[in-house]
């Protein structure tokens, strides 16, 4: 039986920095409100039409492959997680395969929003442990900026989200370290509490043509902010303990907790509930906003590059988001 280790990491964010001050020119908001409610000070928003979700994922993947020190043709499966794909279909995994110019390996798209990266590494882990694949490229990439309502009406959502991509090469290993467990959940009864409903097959071409939604408000993300917040803090805590209990570990054993960067207040609430020290938690939402499926791999790469993770460390990843979906991964580094 093999273990799955994270052999390489990489991330890419667009160059264009959008500060809270910049947002005040588009909508009725303030740096003070955004920092106090979300912790976000700036985010990256793509300002180049050529930069797509799959291309940003490609840039992150190239760095992860380099970091893993393998040839790109040693990749034998691709898992691409995004809620903001280049096309309605085909998925972004095949575009990544094309961009990387690698052999005709399988490419799977994962549609689990903020939990997407956890779902993706869970799938990768099972393929590696079964012996089917040796090196799986897992990517989370998002371009939110094009789909946000950047007006006062959309301010409670649009100030939160940013663009970016992160990637990991997950490889088979015979050692003791690696992904010890993953835990996935969903609760579809709250699907519409955080969602983009249109366009889709329930609201498709004929309906779009006759849509009297002249200002297009139905096409922007809807989020029941307070409700999402309350569910997120409960589910994060549950799924972190589920991971610890599975390996007979205690919260004191956590070397580093990286939660999906949804909102700094959510991360701080979890830190307080678990009584974790500042050195046990990594947050970077202040710089990038909420980048959904990309947030965990971006934060993990930054933490790793800053030498905050060393061999033998217990690293816990946890996410909650639209669906609702949530999950965790416990890794012995």
Is 290 an active-site residue?
A: yes
244 is a site residue for ligand ACO (CB under 6 A): no
Nearer to ligand ACO, 7 or 260 (CB): 260
Give least dist CB 194 to ligand ACO, A. Answer: 6
8 Å CB contact between 283 and 296: no
For the chain, how many helices (H) and strands (E)?
11, 13
Q: Which residues contact 43 (CB under 8 A, 6 or more apart)?
A: 17, 18, 161, 162, 163, 287, 288, 289
Taking CB under 6 A as the criterion, the residue among 114, 300, 303, 331 binding ligand ACO is: 114
298 is a site residue for ligand ACO (CB under 6 A): no
CA distances from 51 to 24, 55, 133, 220 (A): 25, 6, 30, 21
What is the helix, strand, coil percentage profile of the chain, to 5? Answer: 40, 25, 35
Give least dist CB 193 to ligand ACO, A. Answer: 10
Phi then psi for 43, rounded to 5 degrees? -145, 165
Taking CB under 6 A as the criterion, the residue among 229, 241, 269, 333 binding ligand ACO is: 229
CA 9, chain centre distance (Å): 14
Nearer to ligand ACO, 172 or 318 (CB): 318
Taking CB under 6 A as the criterion, the residue among 201, 226, 277, 279 binding ligand ACO is: 226
8 Å CB contact between 321 and 294: no
Beta-carbon-side half-sphere exposure of residue 327 (alpha carbons within 13 Å) = 24
Cα gap 162→148, rounded to integer Å = 10
37 is a site residue for ligand ACO (CB under 6 A): yes
Q: In the chain, at which residue ranges do the beta strands (DSSP E only) sit?
A: 3-12, 17-19, 42-44, 77-81, 106-110, 135-142, 164-173, 178-186, 194-195, 222-223, 256-259, 314-321, 325-332
Taking CB under 6 A as the criterion, the residue among 194, 240, 299, 318 binding ligand ACO is: 194
**Annotated catalytic residue within 3, 20, 112, 114:** 114
Q: Which stretch binds ligand ACO (CB under 6 A): 57-65, 75-83, 168-176, 228-236?
A: 228-236
13 is a site residue for ligand ACO (CB under 6 A): no
Give least dist CB 61 to ligand ACO, A. Answer: 23
Give least dist CB 189 to ligand ACO, A. Answer: 16
284 is a site residue for ligand ACO (CB under 6 A): no
147 is a site residue for ligand ACO (CB under 6 A): no
Give least dist CB 277 to ligand ACO, A. Answer: 23
Nearer to ligand ACO, 26 or 70 (CB): 26
Q: Which stretch binds ligand ACO (CB under 6 A): 26-34, 73-81, 134-142, 178-186?
A: 26-34
**Per DSSP, what are the bridge partners of residue 8?**
169
263 is a site residue for ligand ACO (CB under 6 A): yes
Give residues in contact with ligand ACO (CB under 6 A). Answer: 29, 33-34, 37-38, 114, 155-156, 159-160, 194, 223, 225-226, 228-229, 232, 262-263, 265-266, 290, 320-321
Active site residues: 114, 260, 290
């Amino acid at each position: 039986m093999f273990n799955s280790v994270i052999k390489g990491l990489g991330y890419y964010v667009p160059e264009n920095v959008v500060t809270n001050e910049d947002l005040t020119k588009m909508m009725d908001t303030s740096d003070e409100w955004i920092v106090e409610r979300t912790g976000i000070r700036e985010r990256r928003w793509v300002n180049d039409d050529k930069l797509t979700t799959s291309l940003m994922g490609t840039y992150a993947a190239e760095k992860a492959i380099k970091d893993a020190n393998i040839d790109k043709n040693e990749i034998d499966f691709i898992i691409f997680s995004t809620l903001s794909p280049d096309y309605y279909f085909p998925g972004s995994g095949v575009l990544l395969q094309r961009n990387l110019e690698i052999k005709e390996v399988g490419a799977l798209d994962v549609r689990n929003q903020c939990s997407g990266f956890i779902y993706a590494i869970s799938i990768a882990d099972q393929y590696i442990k079964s012996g089917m694949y040796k090196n799986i490229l897992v990517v989370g990439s998002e371009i939110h900026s094009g789909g946000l309502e950047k007006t006062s009406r959309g301010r409670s959502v649009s100030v939160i989200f940013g663009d970016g991509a992160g990637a990991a090469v997950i490889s088979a290993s015979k050692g003791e370290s690696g992904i010890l467990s993953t835990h996935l959940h969903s609760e579809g009864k709250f699907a519409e509490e955080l969602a983009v409903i249109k366009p889709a097959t329930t609201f498709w071409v004929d309906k779009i043509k006759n849509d009297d939604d002249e200002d297009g408000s139905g096409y922007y993300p809807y989020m029941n902010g307070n409700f999402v917040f309350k569910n997120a803090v409960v589910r994060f805590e549950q799924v972190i303990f589920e991971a610890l209990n599975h390996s007979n570990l205690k919260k004191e054993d956590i070397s580093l907790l990286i939660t999906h960067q949804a909102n700094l207040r959510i991360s701080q609430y979890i830190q307080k509930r678990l009584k974790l020290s500042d050195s046990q938690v990594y947050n970077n939402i202040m710089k990038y906003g909420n980048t959904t499926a990309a947030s965990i791999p971006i934060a993990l790469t930054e933490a790793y590059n800053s030498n905050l993770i060393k061999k033998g460390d217990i690293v816990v990843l946890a996410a909650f988001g639209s669906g609702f979906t949530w999950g965790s991964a416990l890794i012995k580094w």
